[in-house]
Amino acid sequence: MKKQTTLGELEVFDSHTHFFSHNFFSMLASRSPVLKDTKDPVGELGRATGLDMPPETVDEFASIWQDELDKNSVAKSILMASLPGDELSVAKAVELYPDRFAGAFFFDPIGQNALENATRIFDELNLKLICLFPAMHHFSVGDNENVKAIVGLVRDRPGTAMFVHCGSLSVGIRGKIGLPSKFDLRYSNPFEVHKLASEFPDVNFIIPHFGAGMFRETLMAADLCPNIYLDTSSSNKCVKYEAGGVDLTQVFCRTLDVIGGERLLFGTDSSVFPRGWNQEVFENQVRILDEIGISQQTAKAIFGGNLRRLLESK
């Protein structure tokens, strides 16, 4: 399945899609001080946020996402379990549609039995990316022994990678249901990823959103470590944090100049319905890269080829 664009036909593999399952919303609602004691917490969450709540069964929701990819001519997508404990939902979707989805999972490396849990998820559920959120779970990526042990798991499992969220972090839905976001941005520096990536040169790391407002630091880390990849997902409003009025076109130009196109992974950060897959993000990035004048070969790499190569078994 290919999309016809101004950059030619592209076989799109989205590196960043959140699989907000019914179980995800149920867990979120159970933590909400305003929803946890209601008769229908998930339904109330939908009414509070204006979002379409997914069907209760993963089979139905996975089918909805497959139809969404079909509608937008997207070949494949990474589906991310977006709370620790919801990885079974993503694993089921991947099992049902292995040609359309690959799996990723949120993980707290400082939780109880972290190494055993990560090992089980990789080996039993066949997921590809372990996603760390240092600001959310309050830990140092570069100096945590649990993290290093988990990196060792990835090193021993070809076709897997580490995803580390850096920079600005906000989860808008939390505020709407009375959940505080006690994040600590002191742990969000991409230099922490550089420390780990330089220590484990045979493990691949992904920093999403061009560093989410820490673009300069992200670019420095990726320049120094050829095993650091950047994903292009979200609307990238974080460019407002950059000095000198940098826009997304300049972000792409600088990234291509520093690390080339071989370590850029297209992503949308799609997540909720009724919006579904974020076609607007795709069109904006196609337009920018077309104006920059990248080759069709580079376009094919960014919009899917690099991610396929990253997840291939060595």
Q: How confident is the model at residue 314 (pLDDT cuts 50, 70, 90)?
A: very low
Beta strand ranges found along 66-224 (DSSP E)? 76-81, 101-107, 129-132, 161-164, 205-207
Q: What is the average per-residue pLDDT within 275-303?
A: 97
Tell whether the model's pLDDT for residue 90 goes beyond 80.
yes
Under the phi-then-psi rule, with left for phi > 0, alpha for psi from -120 to 50, and beta for the rest, what region is 210? left
Per the prediction, the chain carries an average pLDDT of 94
Amino acid identity, residue 236?
A: N
The confidence score (pLDDT) of residue 79 equals 98
Q: Which of 86-100, 237-251, 291-305 has the lowest mean pLDDT?
A: 237-251
Enter the CATH code of domain 3-311.
3.20.20.140
Residue ranges of domains in the chain: 3-311
pLDDT of 33-77, one tens digit each?
A: 888 788 899 999 999 899 999 999 999 999 999 999 999 999 999
The confidence score (pLDDT) of residue 238 equals 78
pTM of the complete model: 0.96
Structure tokens at 282: 């795709």
pLDDT of 228-252, one tens digit each?
A: 999 999 888 778 888 777 899 999 9
**Cα 298 to chain center, whole Å?**
21
The confidence score (pLDDT) of residue 312 equals 87
d(CA 131, CA 109): 10
Q: Which of 47-61, 63-77, 166-180, 274-288 has the lowest mean pLDDT?
A: 166-180
Percent of the chain with pLDDT strictly greater than 70: 99
- How many alpha carbons lie under 13 Å from residue 178 in its C-beta half-sphere? 11
The confidence score (pLDDT) of residue 262 equals 97
Higher pLDDT, 179 or 139: 139
Q: What is the average per-residue pLDDT within 276-299?
A: 97
d(CA 75, CA 166): 28
Q: What is the average per-residue pLDDT within 288-299?
A: 97
User: Which helix (H) or strand (E) is 234 found in, with range?
Assistant: none
Tell whether the model's pLDDT for residue 313 goes beyond 70.
no
